[in-house]
Structure 1
Amino acid sequence: MTSGDLARVLQWRNHPEVRRFMYTSHVITPKEHASWFERNSGAPGVWLLIYEVAGVPMGFVNISSTRCPQVADWGFYLAPDSEPGTGHALGMATLSYAFEELGLHKLCGQALGFNERSIRFHERLGFIREGVLREQHYDGEHYQDVVCFGLLAAEWKTRNRGIRA
């Protein structure tokens, strides 16, 4: 991701169908977005990525290994007008990048408990449900559970070998 992607990513992030599944669900201002990008774009252990299909930007991925260099968290969202199947392709490309290029040992994800689509998405990619943080997030009206996922590099490699065979 470069500064030239800021407007597009902000538009995606502020779309109601993206925002409602985020920890921070208010409309992000351009100033707030630029500040986030400035803090994170050069930070060690943080990768801000644009996922493209045939040269067209279709999604955003954030990988962050700020606690331990070999273990990272990820977050992602798609362009609201992306075609069906784009999410799975984004996930597979990101996992390949995380384990094969970055050499991570583990990638962690989280989904708000009501976000069944994200929960199924993680499980289809091979993530293991590691636990539920009960009523961990307050959205301004209700407490929400947070479902935690993890995928080890060894699990990814084993699963990927099966796909290639």
Structure 2
Amino acid sequence: MTREDLEQVLSWRNDVEVRRYMYTQHEISLEEHTRWFERATLDSSRHLLVFESGAVPVGFINIHEIAPGGIADWGFYAAPDAPKGTGRRLGEAALQYAFGQAGLHKICGQAIAYNERSIKFHLNQGFHQEGILRQQHFDGQQYHDIVCFGLLASDRPANT
């Protein structure tokens, strides 16, 4: 991701269908987004990526190394108007990058329990459900469980 991608990524992030599955669901201003980007690009533990299909940007990936030994969290979203199947391809490319180029050992993911698509996505990518954080997220009105996932580099077939 570069500074030139900021407005595009922000428009995806602020789409109502993307926001509803985020921990912070308010509409983010360009100023707030720019401050986040400036901090994140100075942090060597972060990998900010724009996923492209046929040279067209169609998704965003944020990989954050959170512990020594190559342990990372990830977050991602496809553009709201991305073609069907983009999420799966984005996930495959992100994991290939994480375990190949970035040399990570484990990717951790989380999904708010009502985000059934994300839960299914993680399981289809080979993640193991590692737990549930009960009533971990408060959205301003009610509490929600968080489903936790993990995927080790050794869980992936050698050719991916």
Q: CA RMSD in A?
A: 1.1
Q: Which residue of the partner structure matches residue 136 of structure 1? A: 136
| 1:53 equivalent in structure 2 | 53
Q: Unaligned 5+ residue runs, structure 1?
A: none
1:12 maps to which residue?
12
> How do residues 8-157 of structure 1 correspond to structure 2 at under 5 angstroms?
8-156=8-156
In structure 2, distance between residues paired with 1:104 and 1:72: 7
| Contact persistence 1:111–1:146 (CA under 8 A) | yes
Conserved? CA contact 1:46–1:66, under 8 Å? no
Partner AA of 1:21 in structure 2 = Y
Note the alpha carbon deviations across 1:20-39, whole angstroms, 9 max, x for none: 00000000011110000001
Paired-residue identity, %:
54
TM-score when scaled to structure 2?
0.97
Contact in 2 for aligned 1:88/1:121 (Cα 8 Å): yes
Unpaired runs of 5+ residues, structure 2, are none
Higher helix share: 1
Q: How many residue pairs end up in the alignment?
A: 160
Measure the CA separation in 1 of the matches of 2:107 and 2:130.
12
Q: Structure 1 segments of 4 or more deviating over 2 A?
A: 66-69
> How many angstroms does 1:41 deviate by?
1.2
